[in-house]
Structure 1
Amino acid sequence: MTPTDKRPNLRFVALAIGMFAIGTDSFVVAGILPSVAEDLRVDVPTSAELITAYALAYAILSPVIASVAGRASRKALLIGGLAVFVAGNIGTGLAPTFETAIAFRVVAALGGAMFTPTAAGAVVALAGPEKRATALSILFGGLSAATALGSPIGTAISGITDWRGTMMFVAAVGALAAVAVLIGLPAIPRPPAVPFKQRLSPLADARITLTLLLLLVTYSGLFVLYTYVSQVFRPATGGDGTTLAWLLFAWGAAAVVGNLFAGRLTDAFGNRIVINTAPRRSSSSSAPRGAADISYQRSSLS
């Protein structure tokens, strides 16, 4: 590979750092729920609403932001999204009440919603059709790395300091990502404006709808467990944050391995083979994240 071939990958890594920050924010709260519940004087099931608020806002706002901000500078949108994300996490870490924390979780999700679809479009534009799946696997590898590294590190930090220290760690990673994007990413041409209704039009294709339903069912089962991972593993960890961090590392490492191979396999053999092979390994959390996600994104963006 020539030096010029490697440059785009470095640009993808800058965006992957942003995905790492957003993924860490998505996953790390699960490991610190008991600490959050005790400090904010709520029970553990109620504290899990911090995860729900973030996830719902992120899911709802992502397509809305992509439509509304279609004419904005891609780089400005990426950096602005990370700035909002950082502010949301700092606000969460300083929140005096549970209700305030919920509000700032929505702010953090808004930042993530600004960044994620913009980053996906950016890597596709930079990579070209022949390397699209590989580029997406690098980008979303940052999300998988968050389960292997970001979430365990954040959980360990909570054990050393408290949950507020964890939120400041997430904000610091987001700030680092903003600097990486500012320095490492070139100007990206604005894509044609796509109305919100047109963005939903792929759902008319039964294959895409079924793929999305498969992912919805898979991830619903995955995150029902993951949300309460600190409680599920408490008999094994005794409430020790370091032990839980190692268990989260093992979980996330499988997701990273899936992403490392899924994009290249899709470029080499096509998305159909990868998608049909992945469910046979569905007992591993890396299969849907590594194979089905990237293969779907390649097919839907083609």
Structure 2
Amino acid sequence: MRLRLLLLALGAFAMGTDTMVMAGILGRISGDLGVSVPAAGQLVTVFALSYALLAPVLAAVTARWPRRRLLLVALTVFTVANALSALAPDYPTLLATRVLAAAGAALYTPGASAAATALAPPERRGRAIATVLGGMTVATALGVPLGTYVGRADWRLTMWLVTVLGAVALLGLAAFLRELPAPAPSVGLRERMAPLRDRRVLGAVATTFTFFVAFQSVYIYLGTAVRPATGGDADRLSAVLLATGVASVAGSWLGGRAVDRWGVRKVLLVGSTIAIACFAALPWLGRTMPGTFGYALLVPLAGWSISVAQPHRLASLNPGNAPLLLSLNSSALYLGMAAGGTVGSLAIALLGERWFPLAASALGVAALVLAAGTTRPAAATGKARTGTPAPDPVKSAAG
């Protein structure tokens, strides 16, 4: 099981690198293809929006597919798309290949999380999901710096690096991943979309979206928030971002264990509370390097713990429709990432460069309220009346 989870994580690592490394090579792309840096930046936006829109659609269309085939097809599409990106002769072609790569990622990431839950026993599913999602967090700490370094002379080399990573994951899963338990019996599209009428599902998706808008609205402009501490020095900021990446890996790892031990509800409430406090304190923390590093360590720990808890929560609500539900969570996450930049810039315009993280704190409170209201244990009343533990078949959804 461990090898298969690591191969699933390798695929997630490739996709995490592909998602985030563009920011490090936009200048090279701009110069090579003769477009402005803002235009090159639209490659990131197009990828995120394509992923968000395609994930639930592809999950519904492929609901009848065996999970092994789904993962292999997704990795094939992703790998071919990145090879085409590396060969793209002009900007429009590169833009089209980013949409194709997003389609592969949108199909793979929810499928890999669902596969992790199928491979692991119930008491270890949090850790299994954390292993797969750990590929995304390791991409933040390792893949992005590596991809940026490789592409310092030619951005196409970065695309070839991602292509190789995707190909290795594809070959490994083709060789070692046996067929997984079949998804839910084939039904019509209307029946497949029925889980979307579940208040718990909508609450979970809304929580993911709101929290990641808050998180990204600060992360994208972190250099601005901590400029009093770094003095605008690139090396100091790089050290802060490295600390953020390492803490993201730790948050994913610890989050899986926390979910298995204490349940989703507690992880969501505690993680959100820590993040809210850090957002609110950043106007003061960002004035010194020790305070800045404290923020850079605590917020990713909390944020990636929440990132592990949310897919576990959704998969537990309706295991038969896990790929669809996880695709919705992924869509909400990527939409949050896309919206975070706009919200952050508006917050800076309204509140100023020092105080704009307070807007993220307010959004964090909204996410906390959503999480608290939609994960309330249904059996709590019965437990209080009888004085005996009530059964909790969906511990991860109810906490």
Question: Equivalences for 1:78-97 in 2 at 5 Å?
Answer: 78-97=71-90
Secondary structure of the residue aligned to 2:151 is helix
Q: Is the 8 A contact 2:76 2:170 kept in 1?
A: yes
Distance in 2 between the 1:185 and 1:259 partners? 23
Using the TM superposition, give the Cα deviation of residue 223 of structure 1 relative to its aligned residue in structure 2, in angstroms: 3.9
Supply the distance in 2 between the matched residues of 1:266 and 1:222 (Cα, whole angstroms).
21
Query: What are the residue-to-residue correspondences of 1:55-70 with 2, within 5 Å?
Result: 55-70=48-63
Picking from 29, 33, 36, the partner of 2:26 is 33
RMSD: 2.6
Are the structure 2 counterparts of residues 49 and 288 from structure 1 closer, same or farther at C-alpha, using a change threshold of 3 Å? farther
- CA gap of 1:245–1:25, structure 2 versus 1, over 3 A, is farther
What do the CA deviations read for 1:32-82 (whole angstroms, capped 9, x no partner)? 112212222222221111111111111122222222112223222212211
1:202-217 equivalence runs, <5 A: 202-217=195-210
TM-score of the superposition, structure 1-length normalised?
Answer: 0.86
Q: Which residue of 2 aligns with 1:237?
A: 234
Paired residue for 2:145, among 149, 152, 164? Answer: 152
Q: CA deviation at 1:227?
A: 5.9
Map of 2:322 onto structure 1 = none
* Unpaired runs of at least 5, structure 2: 279-297, 317-399
Distance of 1:230 and 1:37 partners within structure 2: 22
TM-score normalised by the chain length of structure 2? 0.66
Give the 3-state SS of the residue equivalent to 1:48 in structure 2.
Answer: helix
Whether the 8 Å contact between 2:208 and 2:310 is mirrored in structure 1 is: no
Q: Which region of structure 1 is more displaced relative to structure 2, 216-225 or 82-91?
A: 216-225
Match of 2:116, SS?
helix
Q: Which residue of 1 aligns with 2:314?
A: 300
Deviation at residue 285 of structure 1 after TM alignment: 4.4
Q: What residue number does 1:121 align with?
A: 114
Farther off after superposition, 110-119 or 135-144:
110-119
Does the 8 Å contact 1:152/1:245 carry over to 2?
no
User: 1:47 aligned to 2:44?
Assistant: no
Q: Which has the higher contact order (CA 8 A, sep 6+)?
A: 1
How many Å apart are 1:148 and its aligned residue? Answer: 0.8
In 2, distance between residues paired with 1:92 and 1:35? 14
Q: Would the aligned equivalents of 1:155 and 1:244 in 2 still touch at CA under 8 Å?
A: no
- Which residue in the other structure is 1:276 paired with? 269
> Kindly tell me: are residues 86 and 187 of structure 1, through their superposed partners in 2, closer, same or farther at Cα, counting changes over 3 Å?
same
In the alignment, the residues of structure 2 paired with residue 176 and residue 56 of structure 1 have an alpha-carbon distance, to the nearest angstrom, of 27
Which residue of structure 1 lines up, in the alignment, with residue 167 of structure 2? 175
Q: Which amino acid aligns with 2:255?
A: A
Deviations 1:107-128 (A, max 9, x none): 1111112211221221111113
Match for 1:237: what amino acid? Answer: A
- Which deviates the most, 81-90 or 279-288? 279-288
**2:179 maps to 1:184:** no
Q: Distance between the aligned counterparts of 1:91 and 1:58, measured in 2?
A: 18
Q: Is the 8 A contact 2:252 2:307 kept in 1?
A: no
Query: SS of the counterpart of 2:21?
Result: helix
Q: Percent identity?
A: 36
Once the two structures are superposed, what CA deviation does each residue of 1:123-158 show, in whole Å capped at 9, x if it has no partner? 111113222111111111111111011111001112
1:10-52 per-residue CA deviation (whole Å, 9 max, x = no partner) reads 2111101101111111111011112212222222221111111
Could you tell me whether the CA contact under 8 Å between 2:81 and 2:101 is conserved in 1? yes
CA positional deviation for 1:173? 0.7
Which range moves more in the overlay, 125-134 or 223-232? 223-232
Q: Distance in 2 between matches of 1:180 and 1:147?
A: 23
- For the residue of structure 1 that corresponds to 2:77, the secondary structure is helix
Is the Cα–Cα contact under 8 Å of residues 132 and 298 in structure 1 kept in the other structure? yes
Instruction: Please list every run of 5 or more consecutive structure 1 residues that lacks an aligned counterpart in the other structure.
Output: 1-7
Structure 1, residues 235-260: CA drift from partner, whole Å, max 9, x if none?
A: 5339xxxx987654332111100011
**Distance of 1:48 and 1:194 partners within structure 2:** 40
Map of 2:346 onto structure 1: none
CA distance in 2, matches of 1:228, 1:93: 29
CA distance in 2, matches of 1:244, 1:119: 33
Q: 1:39 to 1:138 in 2, by over 3 A?
A: same
Distance in 2 between residues matched to 1:247 and 1:158, nearest whole Å: 22
SS in 1 for 2:64: coil
Q: 1:265 to 1:44 in 2, by over 3 A?
A: same
